[in-house]
Amino acid sequence: MNTEQIRFSKLINEDDIYSSIIKNYRYAMTDFFEFERVWFSRAYEIWKDYDKYLILIYLFRRNFRTYSEYFVKKSYDEYYSLNQYEIEKFNIIEVSKELFLKKETARRKILELEKEGIIQKNKKIVKINQSAINAQKLGRTIVALSRLLSNVSKILVKDKFLKNEIGSSIFENEIKKNFTQYWLHFLDFQVPYCLKFKKLFGDLEEFIIVGNIIYNQNLYLRKYEISSNDKNYFKSKYLDDLIKLTDKNGINAMTISELTGISRPTVIRKLKKFLKSKLIIKDDKNLYKLVDDYEKMRPLDQARLETVKNLSILLAKFYNFVEI
């Protein structure tokens, strides 16, 4: 918060945010899905390799954490004006374990980052070079995240947990002014989020492809007038509505490719795998949608419920950093 004295009576807690999100789940999560779509598509657009990108944001997260531990705070402009950053040296086994990568895969990806001049290693430290810093500029991502925060603030005002809506420009300015502080909290949410679905699907490309099928069906679901004020709607009824009420609203492979940046042949290959495992179905117009089988969807649904809890924790931190 932007006051010298912390006024606990004005703080919003994660349980209130969670309560609002689940009451307005279809709308709040559409904004969340859109934010994640922007984040993942930008990552793929630049790196064409989610494993390599995971290693890179793992290093940035370590860098931000070190800043926090030493009470160093940098703005967006200050952070991106530097030519390189030093972080404590890491080992391959550590990266492999934390990012669910095979040891040889982790070693190969790190060597690729070295050959591309993204990182430099010596005996004591690792340097992240300017090419990685510039490629990692997060202007579009900050805009998308600020829009999500602003839209959820409208829901919180409606539910009387916030007094006033907070415009997206306020969040953009606050995040850029206190960039390393905010982005450490964001990565503390985003890295585990990525790893959860990487573990579930085996690789992030597969998660992103299925995620866009879900995103598409959720957009169509928003058109229905559904009473979802029951706090259990998002747990017990949302997935059923998502599948049954949008059973004619699939998405084709080309659109998935355009939304994600993943090549169409790769998208088609992954979709064939999902068809074989019966996680999705394809209609006579070559449109893909989720299968109507809860047992197939259960692991994904459990991860969805967990994500809402973790998202509420993140949003509470961001709202309470801003003067409300």
The ranges assigned to domains in the chain are 10-47+64-69+146-321
Cβ burial 221-239 (10 Å sphere, 16+ → b, else e): beeeeeebeeeebbeeebb
Query: Smallest Cα–Cα separation from 128: which of 95, 83, 66?
Result: 83
**Strand, helix or coil at 246?**
coil
Reported pTM = 0.90
Task: Find tokens 């390189």 and name the residue.
Answer: 84
Query: Smallest Cα–Cα separation from 276: which of 206, 200, 181?
Result: 206
* pLDDT of 139 over the 90 cut: no
pLDDT one-digit tens code per residue, 11-36: 899 999 999 998 888 888 888 998 99
How far apart are the C-alpha atoms of 40 and 18, rounded to whole Å? 24
Residue 48 φ/ψ region, left for φ over 0, alpha for ψ in the -120 to 50 degree band, beta for the rest: left
Residues paired with 120 in a beta bridge: 127
DSSP 41: H
Task: Find tokens 């807690």 and name the residue.
Answer: 13
**Strand, helix or coil at 86?**
strand
The proportion of the chain whose per-residue pLDDT surpasses 70, expressed as a percent, equals: 94
2-6, 11-15, 57-61, 251-255: lowest mean pLDDT where?
A: 2-6
The residue-averaged pLDDT of 82-95 equals 85
Query: Smallest Cα–Cα separation from 324: which of 77, 13, 72?
Result: 13
Q: How high is the mean pLDDT of the chain?
A: 89
* Contact in structure between 88 and 125 (CB atoms under 8 Å): yes
DSSP 9: G
pLDDT at 226: 67
